[in-house]
Structure 1
Amino acid sequence: MKKTIHIYHTNDLHSHFENWPRIAHFIKERRRLHDEAGEYSFAFDIGDHVDRAHPLTEGTLGTYNIDLLNESQFHAVAIGNNEGITMPREALNRLYEHASFPVVCANLFEKNGETRPDWLVPHTFFQAGDTTIAVTSATAQYTAFYELLDWCVTLPVDELKKQIAMLKKRADIVIVLSHLGMYDDEKLAEETEADVILGGHTHHVFHEGKMVNGTLLAAAGKYGYFAGHVELDLDVESGRVVAKRARVFETNRSLKPPQDEQEQQERIEERGRQALSVPVVHLDKPIESHWFDPSPLPQMLTEALTDWCQADCSFLNAGVVLGHLPAGNVTKYDLHKLLPHPINPCLIELTGAELSEVLRQTRDEKWPHLQVKGLGFRGSVMGRFVYDRIKMNGPHFLINGEAIELKKTYKLATLDMFTYGHYFVELHRARSKRYFMPEFLRDLMEWKLLQQ
């Protein structure tokens, strides 16, 4: 005789609330059917549910996301990098105050590297009849960013190995909520005896799961496009898992909408607008922005970047500015729509030779229409590069009106996404980088407008 345990999982919603009504309705109906059949079911979120690119997440600093997870009766959640490093420290400490579920992460500690915040546990247990299920988790190791917010994050795979080895002695089934990405999940499966790894972070999808060394890997993509379902068949007499299956349901095709889906979506948008309706400044005339031609808003933001970081010069891409500012009262909602990205300012020290090479690369004609995804960017294309205190005279560059000196050290302010290795090697390899956190670009724009 066998019994089946059902596990539903979501990951990397990134506050795409337009898909949540169907997912919540789906999980509720499935649970009802399992209860009627006398079966056990659980629901877990694998992190990055929170994304401050949505006005309602920004306006509530993520607590609305937690309300949604509470309402859907999730059993446990993991922390993603969006919860961990886009939230100010005090906001993360308050985020889960009213959570009705445990928050699990084995590799996040207080600054001392020894104690965990009181809202966090390294593992937790659930019962499915006489079957004990242990759940542990870890988040991606963005060490420099966590340190700036006075957190300590340790090696995730090492922490999980210790947790899994210990939990295998105390539980019948060990499940990992991994916000590490597909490759680390595969490595973990090769090197441990975890029963199931529910994955996220790299936005991958395993349509029917993936077996690695006897461990079932499952993942449901991003933005709520899918909801995941894992089934574990147990032999009742021995208590051993005899079969594992995974699948995903495509939200727009496979999940039925609740009757009030449109009303829910409209309420979310309106609540987001209201939450950020705080006036910031009054403009006598509109300020425009263009991605491919010179315009005042991107230039203002570039100048703000120089001043905020106390840099010698700065540059950014016009594509980060997603619209215009209207005449009249400008609210925090307007600034959020303009600059929704969780992108931080960064100050980098470069030699004149290194800076010259980076600036030379920014003149490449490929940039303006290049489509950009990830790294905090929430727009669509790169747009033209915009400079402050930088002039170009043919192949030569001037910084503050003076010819660049190849051996001199310069302080360049730019966007943190340009330091991640995908764009400019010199910025990625620079030894001296200072990230300004938790300030986002919209905070700098507000500061600049108030100055003027």
Structure 2
Amino acid sequence: MCLIWRSSGQSGVSSGRTPFSPRPIEMDLLNPSRPSLWLSDVPCLLASGSAPLSPPSAMPFRTSTTALLGLFLVPFLVLASWTAAAQDQSSGKLHLIVLHTNDMHGQVVPLPATWVKDQDPPPTSGGLNRVGAYIKRTRVAAKEEGAEILVVDGGDWYQGTPEGGLDKGLGILKAMLLMGYDLVTVGNHEFDHGVSHFESLLKEAPLPALLANARTKTGGTLPGVGEYSILQRGGLSICVVGMCSVQTPEMSHPSTRDLEWEEPAATLTRIKKELAERTVHVDWWLPVTHCGVYEDKQLAKAHPDLDLIVGGHTHTVLHRGQREGRTLIVQAGSKARSVGRVDLWFDMETKSLLRGEARLVNLYGDPAEGEGVPALAKACVELLRRSALAMDQVVGRLDGSLDRSKDAYSTSASGNLITDLMRARTGAQVAIHNRGGIRAGLEPGEVTRRDLFRILPFDNALVTLTMTGRQLSDLLKRSLEGRGRSGLEFSGIVAQVKRNGRHPQVVAFLVDGKKLLPEQDYKVTTNSFLASGGDAYIEFQQARDRVTDPILQRTLLENALAKLWKQGQGLTPSIENRFVVLP
């Protein structure tokens, strides 16, 4: 088997193992255990020109009437699929299974399957251990039926959980080495601690990483990262290209600005041209991106010959994918809740795609004895043990309630505290945070790091930018008048309003006691989510002079609590109302 690995402007051809060979750790291929069958595993037909089926139920067979019917239907569907695959092999057809995940964000433990409505509490789904076990089972089943398999991930591997934060991501990367990935695309959050830290992670945990559209100033790829990989699957030459959002420098560590970023469509065009000039044969192209659904659609428009794009970044749950022309775009949500699966059948005479089926596989049960990956299970247990030591540590004391507010005429103690700390950190005149990003309140008492994760679970950094008074006024009015997707909390500004039913009528905004001037510039700090236009606050995208501080908002809270804790004091949040309701 001949594979090509492209990195730092060099290519090498070798036979047998390559840096991208899968790592089947402690996999007993002789005694596989069959996975439990779920109604959500029934495929939805996605062949071009066919009508998509309705989304399947996510319920296990034992819990719904529809599932009971599934007990009779699913075995026949699965048997028919296997029989058809065997016939395909003997008739010059190839069955390729693409398994995909994205935006796992270090999610070791399973999460509640909130889409299951008739169980209270709902079952749990996913988690790294279950994902790894499903990959193993699918590899075994594919080998038995004579199918080929390709396992990829769409980026954002570790950032976002206490476990992912251990050793700044190293523990999660080591766990991913045990999960059986063939290739993984680099996401923007891989750079949250800087480009050099990302490079050090790959030295210690050499994942088969791809990133084609970001180069160093000298024109090479990052150390340990390839632009693409060409793999052989059953006689089909597949070129997998990894690409990340060109907005990464605005969302991640400032050191990413030292890289040269290229639009994904241009990158794919360049690589196609390079391989053609070198007479390297490719039968099928597969971009694995961390760009979001909209950008994936733009890529499909620019390259209408693509059959499939595996995506990430926007955490979009695409049960059956979305089509842009002939191209099927798939994404598996986030947090390792599900595994995406695309079954593809190729005519091996023409090397063309005949049909495809896409679905999301929900992982409701822990692996049975013998069907999991023991080394992965052990790694997950260790990560949880270590995170408990850190997360259960008391970091300070709260002497007043840290409440949240949905009142259109008042700010909250939590919003006041968070925005005050943001403004103090950057020296901005104004700080703004979205209410939807504050996920929990907190009562007075000792505070642990896990409590802080509950309040601010999103790994948002700080972004400071320059806005005109008009832009700032338009943004705040959108919030106060209910035209934004989330209300706003703020520091350094006072909103003078009159009561006008459900939403206030704005009279004026004051900064430093003076009315906001439309043409004057103001220094504003917000979080990285809002800075990218999140919650429909597009004015942030129109701002200029962006400077990103990678410190997490959660860390700001911890530092403030810890400073007072060392002095034997607790933190008392401000309950000042930053709305002034005029008669």
Shorter-chain TM-score range: 0.7 to 0.9
**One-letter amino acid matched to 2:542:** R
- Report the Cα distance in structure 2 between the residues aligned to 1:336 and 1:82, rounded to whole angstroms: 17
Gap regions ≥5 residues in structure 2: 1-90, 111-125, 499-506, 565-583
User: Is the 1:149–1:437 contact (alpha carbons within 8 Å) kept by the matching residues of 2?
Assistant: no
User: Is the 2:341–2:361 contact (alpha carbons within 8 Å) kept by the matching residues of 1?
Assistant: no
1:44–1:400 CA distance, 2 compared to 1 (3 A):
same
SS in structure 2 of the partner of residue 149 of structure 1: helix
Alignment length (residue pairs) = 429
1:42 aligns with 2:157: no
Stretches of 4+ moved more than 6 A in 1? 263-267
- Report the Cα distance in structure 2 between the residues aligned to 1:215 and 1:352, rounded to whole angstroms: 44
Task: Say which of 350, 356, 367 aligns to 2:467.
Answer: 350
Shift of 1:138: 0.9
Task: Say which of 264, 285, 288 aligns to 1:177.
Answer: 288
1:240 aligns with 2:370: no
Shift of 1:307: 1.5
User: Is the 1:137–1:160 contact (alpha carbons within 8 Å) kept by the matching residues of 2?
Assistant: no
**One-letter amino acid matched to 1:103:** A
- Report the Cα distance in structure 1 between the residues aligned to 2:529 and 2:325, rounded to whole angstroms: 36
SS in structure 2 of the partner of residue 48 of structure 1: coil
1:295–1:160 CA distance, 2 compared to 1 (3 A):
same
What does residue 327 of structure 1 align with?
445
User: How is 1:25-424 mapped onto 2 (pairs within 5 angstroms)?
Assistant: 25-50=133-158, 52-84=159-191, 86-110=192-216, 112=217, 114-142=219-247, 144-145=249-250, 148-150=254-256, 151-152=258-259, 153-167=261-275, 169-192=280-303, 193-204=305-316, 207-208=319-320, 215-235=327-347, 238=349, 240-241=351-352, 243-252=354-363, 257-259=366-368, 269-277=384-392, 280=395, 282-283=396-397, 285=399, 287-292=401-406, 295-321=412-438, 322-324=440-442, 326-328=444-446, 330-364=447-481, 366=482, 382=486, 385-388=489-492, 390=494, 392=496, 395-421=507-533, 422-424=535-537
CA shift digits 1:410-444 (9 cap, x unpaired) = 323333333334444443322x3433331121222
**One-letter amino acid matched to 2:442:** H
Task: Say which of 420, 423, 427 aligns to 2:540.
Answer: 427
1:171–1:389 CA distance, 2 compared to 1 (3 A):
closer
1:198–1:290 CA distance, 2 compared to 1 (3 A):
closer
- TM-score between both structures, scaled by the size of structure 2: 0.64
CA shift digits 1:228-263 (9 cap, x unpaired) = 233344455x472452423214305xx6541389x9
Identity of aligned residues (%): 22
Shift of 1:70: 1.4
- Report the Cα distance in structure 2 between the residues aligned to 1:195 and 1:396, rounded to whole angstroms: 54
CA shift digits 1:108-130 (9 cap, x unpaired) = 223x2622211211011223354
- Report the Cα distance in structure 1 between the residues aligned to 2:145 and 2:161, rounded to whole angstroms: 38
- Report the Cα distance in structure 2 between the residues aligned to 1:296 and 1:177, rounded to whole angstroms: 43
What does residue 449 of structure 1 align with?
561
Shift of 1:27: 1.6
**One-letter amino acid matched to 1:47:** G
SS in structure 1 of the partner of residue 225 of structure 2: coil
What does residue 378 of structure 1 align with?
none
Shift of 1:384: 6.0
Deviates more, 1:114-123 or 1:166-175: 166-175
**One-letter amino acid matched to 2:494:** I
CA shift digits 1:347-387 (9 cap, x unpaired) = 233344444444444433x38xx8x6xxxxxxxxx466343
**One-letter amino acid matched to 2:402:** E
- Report the Cα distance in structure 1 between the residues aligned to 2:173 and 2:212, rounded to whole angstroms: 20
Shift of 1:46: 1.6
Shift of 1:9: 1.5
CA shift digits 1:286-307 (9 cap, x unpaired) = 5523324655443222221221
SS in structure 1 of the partner of residue 554 of structure 2: helix
User: Is the 2:236–2:351 contact (alpha carbons within 8 Å) kept by the matching residues of 1?
Assistant: no
- Report the Cα distance in structure 1 between the residues aligned to 2:418 and 2:320, rounded to whole angstroms: 46
**Backbone CA RMSD of aligned residues:** 3.4
1:4–1:141 CA distance, 2 compared to 1 (3 A):
same
- TM-score between both structures, scaled by the size of structure 1: 0.81
**One-letter amino acid matched to 2:177:** N
- Report the Cα distance in structure 1 between the residues aligned to 2:308 and 2:513, rounded to whole angstroms: 60
1:104–1:425 CA distance, 2 compared to 1 (3 A):
closer
Task: Say which of 83, 92, 96 aligns to 1:5.
Answer: 96
SS in structure 2 of the partner of residue 97 of structure 1: helix
- Report the Cα distance in structure 1 between the residues aligned to 2:253 and 2:399, rounded to whole angstroms: 42
- Report the Cα distance in structure 2 between the residues aligned to 1:186 and 1:406, rounded to whole angstroms: 37
Gap regions ≥5 residues in structure 1: 373-381
SS in structure 2 of the partner of residue 71 of structure 1: coil
1:46–1:319 CA distance, 2 compared to 1 (3 A):
closer
**One-letter amino acid matched to 1:94:** S
Q: Bigger radius of gyration, 1 or 2?
A: 2
1:95–1:11 CA distance, 2 compared to 1 (3 A):
same
User: Is the 1:220–1:248 contact (alpha carbons within 8 Å) kept by the matching residues of 2?
Assistant: no
User: Is the 2:135–2:180 contact (alpha carbons within 8 Å) kept by the matching residues of 1?
Assistant: no
**One-letter amino acid matched to 1:220:** A
Shift of 1:277: 5.0
CA shift digits 1:29-86 (9 cap, x unpaired) = 1111222344432211122333x331111234223332332112111101223324x3
Shift of 1:5: 2.9
- Report the Cα distance in structure 2 between the residues aligned to 1:187 and 1:402, rounded to whole angstroms: 45
- Report the Cα distance in structure 2 between the residues aligned to 1:426 and 1:190, rounded to whole angstroms: 28
User: Is the 2:289–2:309 contact (alpha carbons within 8 Å) kept by the matching residues of 1?
Assistant: yes
User: Is the 2:392–2:450 contact (alpha carbons within 8 Å) kept by the matching residues of 1?
Assistant: yes
